[in-house]
Structure 1
Amino acid sequence: MSQPTRSQALDLFQRYNTSESLTKHALSVEGVMRHFAEKFGGDVDEWGIIGLVHDIDYEMYPDEHCTKAKEILTEAGWPAPWIRAVVSHGWGIVSDVKPETKLEQTLYAIDELTGLITSTALVRPSKSVMDMKPKSVKKKWKDKSFAAGVDRSIIEKGAEMLGMEISELISETILGMRKVADEIGLGMSEPNQSPNQGAPAGPDPR
């Protein structure tokens, strides 16, 4: 396979994953990766597809995370740099492959962050990212008991790799998640929403 299509990637992901939460996480990361690809001048499809499958092995092989992903993607004939990028997101935890390219560093930085943003959105009145401000996430960031499974230190290391402030990383990640808000269940669903609240990208959180 020279370069997998988005459809092929989704089919492969769904062979190994049935969990709704994992699927929504995959779509969140895909959306954010596509957003950052546009920001950094990367290949939008490449970044997005890698984001989509980054946790392909997590449901069936949680104890072999990243190791099994490498096997699955290699067997499927995926390009070596794409496989390396997927494996690198587990650096320091389940992988010794350090993120080096801008794509790899972005995936590493935003993976955990999408989880924190999702958790923050779900306790808001709107249960949406469309009207979310970075300060809401920063407030929850300081509460270590909130979304305790989110490793803040990974996000900090990722932001440092990218040369970004945490606030900017949060802001851009929210923008990326807004683009897939309906697919991940974090869109505005109230019937009395204003026109701007339902817009695809929503107001800039910055």
Structure 2
Amino acid sequence: MQRKEALKLMEENIKQKNLRKHCLAVEAVMAELADYFDKDEQKWRLAGLLHDIDYEQTADQPEKHSQLGADKLAEMGMEAKIVDAVRSHNGMHQLPRKTLMAKALYAADPLTGLIVASALIHPEKKLDALDTEFVLNRYGDSSFAKGADRDVIASCKELDLELKEFVALSLAAMQNISDDLGL
């Protein structure tokens, strides 16, 4: 599947503007991580772009989130690594994350939310105004952006990345698409 086709699929399944932006942010971070780890950027992008494809459909049944989306992608013939990464990104299922892609998607998902929340409280309300230290300070404040699970973000250690480096890579990726994110 090419990105254009994946973007159309995401937009057909996700109507909320902010959720679409979230998927774009995760896609950007996954692309940055693919480059960092010298992996297939297109495949990692697809995992990021499509990871929440069933989110609106499962809003009232969070226990089904990621399962329905992964099943849909599998039925469409998506590569198993991508399907498994999508399936295991919802920690509620406690599925093993066997691949680097799955581990990256799991950790990147909540970090994008923390970065967006950080931008929204910054006086300039722009991603370009943020630096790694600003985001790390927000990370350290457990009362800030409570939905951004710090334990999941800290799982970046499974990627052999220190938190500071993970935040820096992710922030740079999101800054590169700041216009698409409206930040």
TM-score by length of 2: 0.93
Aligned to 2:67: 67
Structure 2 residue 38 is matched with structure 1 residue 56 = no
Which among 35, 39, 42 is matched to residue 36 of structure 2? 39
Aligned to 2:5: 8
Structure 2 runs not aligned, ≥5 long:
none
Report which of the two structures shows the higher radius of gyration computed on alpha carbons.
1
Task: Give the letter aligned to residue 98 of structure 1.
Answer: P
Q: Following the alignment from structure 2 to structure 1, what is the Cα–Cα distance between the partners of residues 82 and 161?
A: 24
Aligned to 2:158: 161
Task: Give the letter aligned to residue 109 of structure 2.
Answer: D
Structure 1 runs not aligned, ≥5 long:
187-206
CA contact (8 A) 2:81 2:101 kept: no
Which among 100, 110, 113 is matched to residue 111 of structure 2? 113
Task: Give the letter aligned to residue 9 of structure 2.
Answer: L
Task: Give the letter aligned to residue 105 of structure 1.
Answer: K
CA contact (8 A) 2:113 2:148 kept: yes
For this pair of structures, how many residues does the alignment match? 180
Aligned to 1:78: 78
**Over residues 141-194 of structure 1, what are the superposed CA-to-partner deviations in whole Å (9 max), with x where a residue is unaligned?**
12222111111011112x1101111111111110111111110111xxxxxxxx
Aligned to 1:104: 102
Q: Following the alignment from structure 2 to structure 1, what is the Cα–Cα distance between the partners of residues 74 and 12?
A: 15
Task: Give the letter aligned to residue 18 of structure 1.
Answer: K
TM-score by length of 1: 0.83
Q: Following the alignment from structure 2 to structure 1, what is the Cα–Cα distance between the partners of residues 127 and 157?
A: 24
CA contact (8 A) 2:46 2:82 kept: no
**Over residues 77-110 of structure 1, what are the superposed CA-to-partner deviations in whole Å (9 max), with x where a residue is unaligned?**
22222111111211x31x2332222211111111
CA contact (8 A) 1:10 1:52 kept: yes
Identity of aligned residues (%): 36
State the 4+ residue runs in structure 1 displaced beyond 4 angstroms: none
Q: Following the alignment from structure 1 to structure 2, what is the Cα–Cα distance between the partners of residues 47 and 74?
A: 16
SS at match of 2:178: coil
Task: Give the letter aligned to residue 4 of structure 2.
Answer: S
Alpha-carbon RMSD across the aligned residues, in angstroms, is 1.2
Q: Following the alignment from structure 1 to structure 2, what is the Cα–Cα distance between the partners of residues 106 and 178?
A: 19
CA contact (8 A) 1:84 1:97 kept: no
Q: Which structure shows the higher helix fraction?
A: 2
